[in-house]
Amino acid sequence: MPRWARSPKPEPRAELRIDVVIAPETIEQDLAALHQRLHRPGDPVSQCATLPLNLPGLRVHHRVADGEDYIYVEDVLGRRLAGYTVFKRLVELDRRTDRHFRAPHSRYAAAYQRRGIATAVYEWGLARGDCFVSGARQSVGAHALWQALGRRHPLGFAEIRSKRLHDLASPPDEALMTALSTRMILLGSGWSAARLRALGLLHDAVGAEGERLLRRA
């Protein structure tokens, strides 16, 4: 498949480290605590605007703190939090790249999974021009979500080195695939690999010679 192409079908399951498993009861406890804070006057979590996402029966709350977006999806009739997504900043990236890239992290209760909720939230971020970098590890559900979004948005692989993103073949070879520095990238509205390169936000792969130079440095 050409680099940064939109895939017409899911890629084979031999990808990044898909080993994150969070117990459902842990997620439920986390969501219950956040729901209380969402309705506690004076709590920072309660200082939210409402996002007009088309999710019937659900209210989507949004707040920004330290440059990170927090999205809380509330089941109003059920009086509970369905889940949340945080678009986190990446300390691994330099300041220029950090202005355009975020690492999404989500937790949704089992009863609200596979209902397109996280997809709608991620699409909101991509539509406003954010680009996403995957975490060092993913859950099965998160990986499936990225693959689905990759059928509508440019999806590629990059390596984080010296706080910069280095373009990789899609998909990388097995050795790079297992490295914690290898990540998937989703490009938001208005972005392409060519534009990232032109702005100095995406660089060539390091390669064997570059690796030797980095070690010497």
Q: With 50 as the cut, is the pLDDT of residue 214 above it?
A: no
* pLDDT number for residue 73: 98
Domains of the chain from N-terminus onward: 24-216 (3.40.630)
Q: How far apart are CA 130 and CA 186, in angstroms?
A: 9
Task: Give residue-wise pLDDT tens across range 95-141.
Answer: 999 999 999 999 999 999 999 999 999 999 999 999 999 987 778 88
Decide if 70 contacts 64 (C-beta within 8 A).
yes
Percent of the chain with pLDDT over 70: 84
* pLDDT number for residue 16: 58
